[in-house]
Chain A
Amino acid sequence: MKGASRYLPSIPVLLAYAALFGFGLLNPGKWQLVAQLAFYCALGQAFNLFMGMTGYVDFGYVAFLGIGTYGMAISISGLADKGLGLGVIGIGLILSVVFAVLLALAVGAVALRLRGAYFAIATIGVNEGFRYLIEGARIWNGSEGIIFSSHLRELVGREAAMSLSTFWADVMVFGVAVIATVLTIGYMRSKIGYALAALRMDEDAAKVMGINVTRFKIIAFITSAALAGLLGATAWAVKLTYVYPADVFGIHYTVEAIIIVLLGGAGTLLGPIVGGLIYGVSKYYLAVYLPGFQLLVFAPVIVAVIVLFPEGTVGMIKRKLLGTALEKYIL
């Protein structure tokens, strides 16, 4: 495929995000729900960038969200009285990405030499180890975390702070989702994408063919991590204005990311947003109508999906649309 038509599949995805955003704007009383859905979609999109393309499952993914949250938290609480206003948010975003990238390099150095289950376990090890290091060495206040709502107020004033936490943070989450989408399709349609596709099918064969497997793995891994950092900085730090290590290193977020990607279809472009919406909406209504029973309902459903629809929703759609005109819009 040549030219701009290669990027056609991004259209349905971006339209979907725009529609969600628009729905939120038109229904301000439902904005928090929209924000929650956007979070799940962004999480899935960011996670899918590495996992979808390489097939590796990073079970410690949430560590990148966590460190991103800390990056923003430190910026806001540390620079609150310097009179920099909204610039601190920008600094926070940059710091989050820097932290996430550094952690990703450290993790990658160890974990990316491993495969399959060993990789999964190594990443869990990093996640947990890092969290205990923070608690044990009392880094960034250790287990007491950082609560910086008052700092945010000091920084930009009460009204702006409220607006940031309840609206602009979520807009930024949308931004992360869009960036993740663009990067994913960018990678998929480039050398990286082909290399990783080869890797996913047979890593040894790819190596033998002379593909620098390690380099491309690292690029995808770091990108995915950086996006997670941004997500933590926006959806968790700016929005909720607090961070506790126990909270932001919780392994269940990684599991949610995996579920979202799986529901939608791993390795597809449209998958994460479909998965995110299905997951988010189901959870919401379960919380409202069946309080206390969500997990009991969800867990067997997940098993059923894995066993019966391993390619996910979008995977199925792709198959059905094979040979039709719509084919080039779905990736």
Chain B
Amino acid sequence: MKKTTFFALTLSAAFFCVATAFAADLPQKIVIGNPEALSGTHAKAGEQAIGGVKAIIKWVNTVNGGVKVGGKKLPLEYKYYDCESKKEAVTSLLERLITSDKVHFILAPYSSPLTLAGAPVAEKYGILYMDHGGASDKIFTQGFRYAVQTIGPGSRYHVGTLDMLKKKDPAAKRLALAYKDDEFARSVMDGAEAHAKKLGYEIIFKRTYPATVNDLTPLLSDLKASKPDIVIGGGHLADGQLFTQQMADLGINPKALSLVAAVTIPAFQTALKGKADGVMGPSHWEYGVTFSKEKARKAGQVWIGPSQDEFVKLFKDAIGRDLRPEYHAAEAGAAVLSLVLAVEKAASLDSDKVRAAMGDLKFTSFYGGWAIDKTGKQVGHDMIDAQWQNGKLVIVGPEAASTGALLYPKPTVK
């Protein structure tokens, strides 16, 4: 063989080897891991979250063509296990996702305690840890470097509500606070109390009730005696329904009632029918919010993701039945969207780089705004207030997202 041919062949062979070696290193897909709660206390929220994630992943892979990184568009994949809402299971399942399944990023399980349980392991492996269901402010005062929050912090839940009510009726001064006794509800209560004082409300009643309550009569009798104008409170699904029902039973009719977490779920109205009318609740997201690509473009904001209706359809397909997505689904989906933008911005799958890219990421989606502060806490997303009016859920605040006017005062229940 001639010297030059030999040389050329060797060179091409070497080049070929190097090229394939590099190609083998590039991942073919991006995997998101999630040790979610599919049974136990958080079963419902977990199911919703998984549906939301699946819906958005479908959108990313089909409509968006994947996530652009390293000159290619890679599809997203999703791997999840059931931690049974138990903290001991979170750490082992999380580790399995990281070390055996080799996922690139993690979605934390729903709820603040479970999110906290997995955080040290995520920190150890230096992997991005997306908090979609833990609203506790305290998660972000611990110094975790890889945790980012999509859900809004608890302390802000009733802030917008109070602003709205104050504007509507500045004369109504007597405020009653009645919250469930757990870390989340208490953080809402503390935030509400501080803000109420700033607005000039007089707090004439402040009590909490245990989580597994089945009769609120003593507390509500006490509340009735203090003659409040406005009542805010709540905690989670079951007690919200109980609260409203028993307020009606005892004939308590304040000018406004706003409860956390329970009100905006469709089951609330189905169970309470007429008694639900006029009851309000803050939420991260409800179907009917008017965030859209056009509005975002006009306001000069970055938009990503499906439209609201598209999301609902994708969610129903993902769940396999005609179930309405609730905010748990939306916030989980939004977390995935934030990941897509961050990965593309960082042009890398390395958690450190992606986390850094998330730091100054700002965008709008069907879920609303998104931006985090340097601890990872969510600061770009506003709560919305929704109210049942004649059997329909109307978004009454903030004005930019509203679909109807606030019904005030709350209709009296006979």
Q: Which residues of A contact B (CB under 8 A)?
A: 28-33, 35-36, 39, 132, 135, 142-145, 147, 149-150, 153, 158, 162, 165-166, 235-236, 239-242, 244, 246-247, 283-284, 287-288, 290-295
Contact = CB atoms under 8 A, between A and B. Distances in A.
Interface majority SS on B: helix, strand, loop or mixed? helix
A149 B99 CA distance: 24
Nearest to A39: B88
22 contacts: A30-B99, A32-B96, A36-B89, A36-B91, A39-B88, A135-B181, A144-B186, A145-B183, A147-B116, A149-B119, A162-B120, A162-B124, A166-B120, A239-B120, A240-B117, A242-B113, A244-B183, A246-B182, A246-B211, A287-B84, A292-B43, A294-B82
Closest 5 pairs (CB-CB, A-B): A29-B99, A291-B82, A32-B95, A149-B142, A165-B120
A153 B144 CA distance: 10
B91 A239 contact: yes
Contacts of A158: 143
Given A147-B116, A149-B144, 5 more contacts: A36-B92, A242-B113, A247-B113, A287-B83, A292-B82
Contacts of B116: 147, 149, 240-242
A33 B181 contact: no
B100 interface: yes
Contact of B123 (A32, A162, A295): A162
Interface string B247-269: 00000000000000000000000
B260 to A, nearest CB: 15
B121 A32 contact: yes
Interface of B: 36, 38-39, 43, 80-84, 87-89, 91-96, 98-100, 113, 116-117, 119-121, 123-124, 136, 138-139, 141-144, 181-183, 186-187, 208, 210-211
Contacts of A153: 142-143
A223 to B, nearest CB: 24
A29 B83 CA distance: 18
Contact of A291 (B80, B92, B211): B80
Contact of A292 (B38, B117, B119, B120): B38
B82 A287 contact: yes
Contacts of B119: 149
Contacts of A292: 38-39, 43, 82
Contacts of B142: 147, 149-150, 153, 241
Contact of A150 (B89, B99, B124, B141): B141
Contacts of A31: 95
A32 B120 contact: no
Q: Which of A28, A236, A247, A287 has the most CB of B within 10 A?
A: A287
Nearest to B89: A287
Contact of B113 (A33, A162, A244): A244
Contacts of B38: 291-292
Given A32-B95, A143-B186, A287-B93, A135 B121 contact: no
A235 B144 CA distance: 20
A20 B63 CA distance: 48
Main secondary structure of the interface of A (DSSP, over half): helix
B34 to A, nearest CB: 10
B95 A29 contact: yes
Given A162-B124, A239-B120, A143 B181 contact: yes
A198 to B, nearest CB: 37
A236 B138 CA distance: 18
Given A33-B96, A36-B91, A143-B183, A293 B120 contact: no
Contacts of B95: 29-33
A35 B143 contact: no
A33 B92 CA distance: 5
A2 B39 CA distance: 51
Contacts of B181: 135, 142-143
Contact of A35 (B81, B91, B96): B91
B376 to A, nearest CB: 13
A277 to B, nearest CB: 14
Nearest to A29: B99
Contacts of B88: 36, 39, 235
Nearest to B182: A143
B136 to A, nearest CB: 8
A31 B210 CA distance: 37
B87 A240 contact: yes
By CB atoms of chain B within 10 A, which of A149, A162, A241 has the most? Answer: A149
B194 to A, nearest CB: 16
Contacts of B80: 291
A135 B210 contact: yes
B138 A147 contact: yes
Contacts of B208: 143
Contacts of B87: 236, 240, 247
Contact of B120 (A149, A247, A283, A291): A149
B187 to A, nearest CB: 8
A150 B138 CA distance: 10
A242 to B, nearest CB: 5
Contacts of A241: 116, 120, 142
B179 to A, nearest CB: 10
Contacts of B211: 246
Nearest to A289: B81
Contacts of B139: 147
Contacts of A246: 182, 211
A283 B89 contact: yes
Contacts of A247: 87, 113
Nearest to A248: B87
Contacts of B43: 292
B238 to A, nearest CB: 14
Given A162-B123, A247-B113, A144 B183 contact: yes
Contacts of A36: 88-89, 91-92
B40 to A, nearest CB: 8
A29 B120 CA distance: 15
Nearest to A34: B92
A236 B94 CA distance: 17
Query: Which of A32, A236, A292: most chain B Cβ within 10 A?
Result: A32
A29 B125 CA distance: 10
Contact of A240 (B82, B120, B141): B120
Given A287-B82, A291-B81, A32 B94 contact: yes
Contacts of B113: 242, 244, 247
